[in-house]
């Protein structure tokens, strides 16, 4: 049974921990509002960009003049998986869930005889993927020194990916990130960015007829690289909002758990102190009776 001093030290330690988790919760809450606004404000632009490119892609169809970013290389043998996670932990299962989805995709591709290359954005994703797929690593992007994510960061990542694609290092690129739903819900998501794919209903109004100058192919050739950067920027913003939401929830749970532990330790401390006092009284009474 722990002594009174040990119990008192444990109570003090847990109280200090609770102060830290409470402070981290408040910081995450303050960052979350800005991050959520940025992610939500970026969605309409990303959706409109996708709609425009989808309409142009439908016009171009399967013509021989279609850009490589749309038509692809004609093969899907080599896949680049871009795993985007946080730079820090203490956020529940946020990083682990993204890495789990990427690992599942990598395992499926390897089972099909495909070649897998991995690029990570965020230290936690690098650490998680390196344990099982270290031999497939191609690159890592460190954003730990970036205080506020901007479009220029997405452009740098997109430029690296596009250069690798032009050099023939891969055929298909897929990004993995967490889409922000709300504070307690972040959805791990996989999205193919090269070659560009569009879902049904994403195109602009097909009832209108547009004349393009220059040609649809030329416009697509210019828009598709921007679309890759836009998709990466939107994913970075979604990830940032998801990270802060997950961290706020995790620190809130940790704060409440610390409070419960303090209550239990305080009860145990009081019982132990009462037992010590009772034993001392018994000894005093027994000594007095012996006299």
Q: Please provide residue 176's backbone torsions phi and psi, each rounded to the nearest 5 degrees.
A: -120, 125
The whole-angstrom separation of Cα 44 and Cα 47 is 5
The whole-angstrom separation of Cα 165 and Cα 185 is 34
Annotation marks residue 91 as catalytic:
yes
Catalytic residue among 91, 172, 224, 234: 91
Q: Please provide residue 211's backbone torsions phi and psi, each rounded to the nearest 5 degrees.
A: -105, 125
Can you give the C-alpha Rg of the chain in angstroms? Answer: 28
The whole-angstrom separation of Cα 116 and Cα 132 is 13
Strands, sheet with 185-194, edge to edge from the N-terminal-most edge strand:
137-141, 115-121, 78-84, 172-182, 185-194
Q: Please provide residue 81's backbone torsions phi and psi, each rounded to the nearest 5 degrees.
A: -105, 115
Three-state helix/strand/coil letters over 239-268: HHHHHHHHHHHHHHHHHHHHHHHHHHHHHH
Q: Using an 8 Å Cβ cutoff, are 120 and 129 in contact?
A: yes
Which position has the token pair 């890592």? 140
Which structure tokens are listed for 70?
A: 């749309």
Q: Using an 8 Å Cβ cutoff, are 221 and 19 in contact?
A: no
Catalytic residues: 91
């Amino acid at each position: 049974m722990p002594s009174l001093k040990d119990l008192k030290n444990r109570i003090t330690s847990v109280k200090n921990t609770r102060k830290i988790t409470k402070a981290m919760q408040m910081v995450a809450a303050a960052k979350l509002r800005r991050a959520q606004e940025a992610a939500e404000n970026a969605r309409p632009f990303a959706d409109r960009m996708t709609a425009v490119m989808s309409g142009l892609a439908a016009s171009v169809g399967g013509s021989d003049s279609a850009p490589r970013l749309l038509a692809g290389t004609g093969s899907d043998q080599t896949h680049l998986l871009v795993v985007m996670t946080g730079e820090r932990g203490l956020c529940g299962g946020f990083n682990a869930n993204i890495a789990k989805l990427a690992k599942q995709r990598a395992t499926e591709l390897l089972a099909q005889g495909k070649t897998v290359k991995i690029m990570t954005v965020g230290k936690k994703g690098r650490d998680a993927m390196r344990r099982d797929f270290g031999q497939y690593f191609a690159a890592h992007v460190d954003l730990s020194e970036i205080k506020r994510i901007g479009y220029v960061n997405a452009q740098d990542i997109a430029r690296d990916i596009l250069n690798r694609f032009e050099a023939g290092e891969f055929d298909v690129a897929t990004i993995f990130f967490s889409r922000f739903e709300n504070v307690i819900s972040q959805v791990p998501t996989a999205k193919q960015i090269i070659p560009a794919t569009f879902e049904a209903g994403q195109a602009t109004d097909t009832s209108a007829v547009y004349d393009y100058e220059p040609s649809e192919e030329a416009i697509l050739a210019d828009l598709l690289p921007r679309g890759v950067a836009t998709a990466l920027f939107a994913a970075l913003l979604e990830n940032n909002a998801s990270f802060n939401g997950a961290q706020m929830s995790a620190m809130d749970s940790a704060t409440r758990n610390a409070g419960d532990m303090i209550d239990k330790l305080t009860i145990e401390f009081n019982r132990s102190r009462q037992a010590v006092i009772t034993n001392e009284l018994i000894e005093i009474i027994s000594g007095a009776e012996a006299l």
